Amino acid sequence: MEVRSTVGVGSREDLSMAYTPGVARVCTAIAEQPELARHYTWIPNVVAVVTDGTAVLGLGDIGPAAAMPVMEGKAVLFKSFGGVDAVPICLDTTDVEEIIETVARLAPSFGGINLEDISAPRCFEIEDRLKERLDIPVFHDDQHGTAVVALAALQNALKLTGRDPATTRVVISGAGAAGVAVAKILLEAGIRDLAVTDRKGVLHSSRGDLTPVKRALAVLTADQTGRSGSLADVLEGADVYIGVSGGTVPEEDVARMAPESIIFGLANPDPEVHPDVAHKYARIVATGRSDFPNQINNVLAFPGIFRGAFDVHATAITEGMKLAAATALADLVGDDLSEELIVPSPFDPRVGPAVSGAVAEAARRDGVARL
């Protein structure tokens, strides 16, 4: 990574414009009209990629220093796939209050905040409180990037198998950051029969061990259908399995799913259901890996989402913007839709513009656009 100027500084005149005395004119103008910072600085095109290093990839809590390579990689993807500048920031604290306060104090230097690899359940509170406090987009990609791409893939998988979201039975294993976000976006998209499981089984309100986040999700999911029990119990007859938990689902449980089922095993590097096993029973299989078809890759979503939000100077990223991003991704597949192609390639040059355009339009509809 590097930072480069967009203009040359090759003469005394250039220097006087880039720094003193010319730069003072810009400072004075912004002091008088703070909103001019969105026009005369890099702020409207730069995102802070912020982590505390507690949930890095599949590596877990490896700390802020070891997390830096992932944050740098994220910044490179922002630039390569969305034309968005990004600065990786690794915080040497895991305290919720300290993280919120630090990010809030840094916020005037950025057009948006991308939270990354912060462990659950702290990530939920951090994101929610920063969204309340700041007037720029705040987005936890481990939650919402995964959810957007998973929904896009599921929309196309349902189309291929002739299923209606309202009557499709879905099981999600994993109630961490990604699992909660995937569940919420599926509900927004019309899924009605949804069970979410953690290590102790289905989330339902009669359980006394649920966190506030899990309890709220239980009310929206299993409490509506009356489902309970273990993952194996709810997989029987299920149309869709989405794994965001790690671990392994026994083959005998997979075999009890509905005919022409859909299996997304998204844990990396080892999917909850290996594709070789999944293909014995499922019509459509997706993973988080690049060496199998149908990779559910967040890079399909987050660069375009921020690009679209920045293009209209959005104050937030709404549920409508996320749904629009998912639909735009699903629609890009078009006539190429098949069991081996339910989401576009990250290298499809249409992805970024399609997602950003849909997100910008949704931001205007939802009333969060300033342009």
Tell me which of 40, 74, 214, 281 is the catalytic residue. Answer: 74
Instruction: Report in angstroms the alpha-carbon separations of 62 from 119, 146, 242, 294.
Output: 11, 22, 26, 29
For position 291, what pLDDT does the model report? 92
For position 214, what pLDDT does the model report? 95
Q: Cα separation of 188 and 322, whole Å?
A: 10
Q: Which residues pair with 50 in a beta bridge?
A: 89, 115
Q: Cα separation of 214 and 341, whole Å?
A: 33
For position 6, what pLDDT does the model report? 87
Tell me which of 19, 159, 200, 280 is the catalytic residue. Answer: 19
For position 57, what pLDDT does the model report? 82
Mark the binding-site residues for (S)-malate, compressed into ranges: 268, 297
Mark the binding-site residues, compressed into ranges: 116-117, 142, 268, 297
3-state secondary structure of 281: helix
Domains, in order of start, for the chain: 42-136 (3.40.50.10380), 142-371 (3.40.50.720)
For position 325, what pLDDT does the model report? 98
For position 269, what pLDDT does the model report? 85
Q: What are phi and psi of 39, to 5 degrees?
A: -110, -25
- Determine the distance from the C-alpha atom of residue 45 to the mean position of all C-alpha atoms in its chain, rounded to a whole number: 19
Strands of the sheet with 112-115, listed across from one edge: 85-90, 46-51, 112-115, 138-140
Q: CB-based contacts of 317: which residues, under 8 Å, 6+ apart? A: 137, 138, 139, 144, 305, 309, 359
Taking alpha carbons only, the member of 63, 60, 53, 66 closest to residue 116 is 53
User: pLDDT by residue (tens digit) across 248-264?
Assistant: 999 999 999 999 999 99
Q: Cα separation of 57 and 68, whole Å?
A: 12
Active site residue 40: no
Mark the binding-site residues for a divalent metal cation, compressed into ranges: 116-117, 142
Which residues of the chain are under the pLDDT cut of 50? none
For position 150, what pLDDT does the model report? 98
User: pLDDT by residue (tens digit) across 40-86?
Assistant: 999 999 999 999 999 998 789 999 999 999 999 999 999 999 999 99
For position 268, what pLDDT does the model report? 85
Active site residue 200: no
- Give the total residue count for the chain: 371
DSSP-assigned states of every residue in 182-201 = HHHHHHHTT--EEEEEETTE
In the numeric block, the tokens 């399909």 are attached to 300
